[in-house]
Amino acid sequence: MIRKTALTSPNDQQRDDSPYSFFSSCTPASMQLNEVAWSPYRDKALLKPISVSVHSGEFLAIVGPNGSGKTSLLRCLYRINKPTSGTVLLDGKDLWSLSPRQCAQRIATVLQDTGGEFGLSVFEMVEIGLTPRSLAWGRSEEDTHIIESTLALLDVAHLSKRSFDSLSGGERQRVMIARALAQGPDVLILDEPTNHLDIRHQLDVLALLSKLPCTIIVSLHDLALASAYADRVLVMQNGEMQACAPPSHVFTEQRIKQVFDVETIIDEHPITQRPRFSFYIND
């Protein structure tokens, strides 16, 4: 079921009282994959034909072992990998019929690799997220509000004057998520956003994402996080989609054994009532 999260009440002020007010112009978008396949080689498809619809406002988690095709699939969704065959539609329009700027105005991404020497402050890194929608040079009062709001949401406001290059991996990851949020995207795509984060910040980030008024597509290694926060889970193996359904339907002992080659005891989490896992090897 698609989440419907109330972010503000009718009596809330439009701007200062809501930490999500900078998302007021967002329109959650749908994405549809029609027999999408991709490969850099002529004779071997790394991503085999996939057909699935991502509903507007949905939180879709993509899981699978290393090399299963998660990142290749995401790259097709944010217009880096042009499908070898099939089409990706954004609200019914072919993604590749849009310009890069048009895509950037609606789709924001957070990648696994935040390396590189940028020579920018944290504030300036987040400011880059405003570029796709900016029509003029210079920073407005509203721009500053958006940057400060996203920094606060990701608990990195105290780092705003620090050099981005001086941050830890987890701090960098949160800044990059803040930058993506500053775009005010209709679709937010994240590739393993919790990789460098400690347990508390993993939960904080996923809880934040689940409340955003946009469509969320995220790849995760942690099945517990996918189970706890996703509306649906898409399972990948060897470049193929194995299933796409709510966590309680996707996560079975048989499927986890087939895809991840581990044994599992599954019960119900006492707080979330979502599937909870205990993994073990029985060779």
- Please give the pLDDT value at position 12: 36
User: Is residue 84, in this structure, part of any structural domain at all?
Assistant: yes
Q: What is the pLDDT of residues 144-201, one digit of tens each?
A: 999 999 999 999 999 999 999 999 989 999 999 999 999 999 999 999 999 889 999 9
Whether the CB-CB separation of 62 and 236 falls below 8 Å is answered with yes
User: Is residue 151, in this structure, part of any structural domain at all?
Assistant: no
Split into its structural domains, the chain has a count of 1
Contacts of 159 (CB under 8 A, 6+ apart): 122, 151, 167, 171, 175
Query: Is the sign of the CA dihedral 73, 79, 84, 87 positive or negative?
Result: positive
Q: Apex CA 47: angle with CA 116 and CA 82, to 5°?
A: 65
Residue 16 has pLDDT above 70, yes or no: no
Kindly state the tokens that stand for 99. 């310009």
Q: Which structural domain range is residue 45 located in?
A: 30-115+186-280
User: Is residue 165, in this structure, part of any structural domain at all?
Assistant: no
Weakest-pLDDT range from 21-25, 106-110, 222-226? 21-25
Strand partners, 54: 31
User: Is residue 67 classed as helix, strand or coil in its secondary structure?
Assistant: coil
pTM, to two decimals:
0.90
CATH of the domain at 84: 3.40.50.300
Packing angle, helices 169-182 and 141-153, rounded to 10: 140
- 17 vs 124, more confident: 124
Mean pLDDT of all residues belonging to the chain = 88
- Cα 149 to Cα 23: distance, rounded to the nearest angstrom: 11
Give the pLDDT mean for 102-115.
87
